[in-house]
Chain A
Amino acid sequence: MLKETPLYNLHLELGAKMVSFAGYQMPVQYSKGIIHEHLHCRNHAGFFDISHMGQCLISGDKAAGELERLTPGNITGLQPGEQKYTVLTNKDGGIIDDIIITRLTSGLMIIVNAACKDKDYAYLQSHLSEQCDFMELPDHALFALQGPAAARIIGKFSADAAELVFMHACATEIDGMPCNISRSGYTGEDGFEISVANEYAERLARCLLAEDEVEAIGLGARDTLRLEAGLCLYGHELNEAVTPVEAGLQWLFKKGHNEFPGADKILGQLQKGPNKIRAGLLVKSKIPVREGSVIVNNEDIIIGHVTSGSFSPSLGQPIAMALLDRNSADLGNTLYGIVRHRKIAATVTKLPFIRHRYHR
């Protein structure tokens, strides 16, 4: 039985095509299509229902310290109102999930991937001591408002939210509805994520969608937006067999921190360099090179595979991210994706494909 978010009926009203995603019925696109939605978000503002993602709260004096021992990131250094993107690692250095941790006055709020919810919650509960309180927040919806017009629009409702800088959060209100807003998102654009109690979800969504510049964006464009922004998606770039160093996430590490699962392997890779790394590929033809496609070099030797591949609406050509042999991944190298037994040329390209426009 598929679950619904509090906006299910609103999605249908907006003409969404619904698909099954991580156990939820979610909008993959609305009537104008993925390319339109994608460009609308890049040029104006997009509203995303991401209520399928998991929200939980960990509280207690030791919460930050204990959480920090489950991730390579700096959690104890988080001040109230600050947030960090990080990963939970397994003992082999692989990634259990990529998560956002926000320090609120009430504790540490964590946002996890929908498909990892059960696994993460069980893992966190079994690895945190009794001195930490763990609470799921299933009665909360989560939205994102992304794009160059997002700040102007949020400012009409909350001056506090509009003043936030990237990766900061505050408790505020939108039209009298209490919510937590952070300046973050997963499109590469400036924008906000809004956590609100289910009872207010639809009213708050309608409030934002009533703004001229805001259109609803489905999961299809969410994926092309994050791919252009060079951001990892769990189950694609990230999984239990890929380390954060291979995924190119070493920027999230706390310097000197070596007490987290898989630290030996991960810190070893950090020192010597990993054998494989995540790279961007700009495809030189119109043929999309999609996830799972094998990548070969000039000599037809297999050197990796595509982790995400699609058409880039902003660039008007196909792009991909791939996990590649480090020695073949120099910027500017020409490699080949195999599509229907043919070699499709692609250039190793610096990520992100589209410049981030975060408000720092």
Chain B
Amino acid sequence: MSGLPEDLKYAMTHEWARLEDDNVVRVGITDFAQEQLGDLVYIEMPELGRKVKAGEQCAVVESVKTASDLFSPVTGEIVAVNVALADEPEEVNSSPYQAWLFCVKADNPPELDLLMDADAYRLMIEQ
């Protein structure tokens, strides 16, 4: 688990989050998460325009073996989902930090500071 991008924030529930322009937070799942899940076969995305709270369940990733909930790392509105993953969920397995799942326009970007940085997340998954 060497390659944790340093510019991302990480949630306890294994989502990564990146703050971009205009308070938009891009969200995906970590390499650790995809490896634990195994081959992904379906991703249920949140609806565009949906209001979500930080920690609210808003997507589901399904591997061959299991279905696993995903949670929004911040409070805000879903402004984009990665529709390309509908046909290629396996992209999340091969490139977890490129294959983002959805974007939330954050009501309060400093909320991101409640998430872990790469060092803290590394510590968590190594335990």
Contacts and interface: CB of A to CB of B under 8 A. Distances in A.
Interface of A: 17, 28-29, 33-36, 220, 224, 286-288, 290, 310-311, 313, 318, 340
Contacts of A288: 41-42, 62, 67
Contacts of A220: 38, 64-65
Contact of A310 (B60, B64, B86): B64
Interface of B: 38-39, 41-42, 44, 60, 62-65, 67, 86, 93
A34 B64 contact: yes
Of B38, B63, B65, B67, most A-chain CB atoms within 10 Å: B65
Nearest to A316: B41
B65 A287 contact: no
Contact of A34 (B39, B62, B67, B86): B39
A298 B64 CA distance: 28
A29 B36 CA distance: 11
A35 B64 contact: yes
Given A33-B38, A35-B39, A340-B44, A28 B65 contact: yes
Contact of B44 (A33, A35, A287, A290): A287
Nearest 9 A/B pairs, CB to CB: A311-B41, A35-B39, A34-B64, A33-B39, A286-B42, A311-B64, A288-B62, A34-B39, A287-B42
Given A288-B42, A290-B67, A340 B62 contact: no
A236 to B, nearest CB: 14
Contacts of A286: 41-42, 86
15 contacts: A33-B93, A34-B38, A35-B64, A36-B39, A220-B38, A220-B64, A286-B41, A286-B42, A287-B42, A288-B41, A288-B42, A311-B62, A311-B64, A318-B41, A340-B60
A360 B80 CA distance: 55
Contacts, number: 40
A286 B88 CA distance: 11
Provide the main secondary structure of the chain A interface. mixed
Contacts of A287: 42, 44, 62
Contacts of B62: 287-288, 311
Contacts of A35: 39, 64
Nearest to B66: A290
Nearest to A31: B35
B62 to A, nearest CB: 5
B64 A313 contact: yes
A146 B39 CA distance: 22
A35 B39 CA distance: 7
Given A34-B65, A287-B62, 19 more contacts: A17-B38, A33-B38, A34-B64, A35-B39, A35-B64, A220-B38, A286-B41, A286-B42, A286-B86, A287-B44, A288-B41, A288-B67, A290-B67, A310-B65, A311-B64, A313-B64, A318-B42, A340-B44, A340-B60
Contacts of A290: 67
A156 B67 CA distance: 42
A310 B42 CA distance: 11
A311 B89 CA distance: 13
Nearest to A29: B38
A36 B93 CA distance: 13
Contacts of B63: 34
Of A17, A287, A313, most B-chain CB atoms within 10 Å: A287
A5 B64 CA distance: 25
B115 to A, nearest CB: 26
A117 to B, nearest CB: 24
Contacts of A17: 38
Contacts of A318: 41-42
A290 B66 CA distance: 8
B64 A224 contact: yes
A224 to B, nearest CB: 6
A18 to B, nearest CB: 13
B70 to A, nearest CB: 13
A139 B27 CA distance: 51
A33 B39 CA distance: 6
Contacts of B41: 286, 288, 311, 318
A220 B36 CA distance: 13
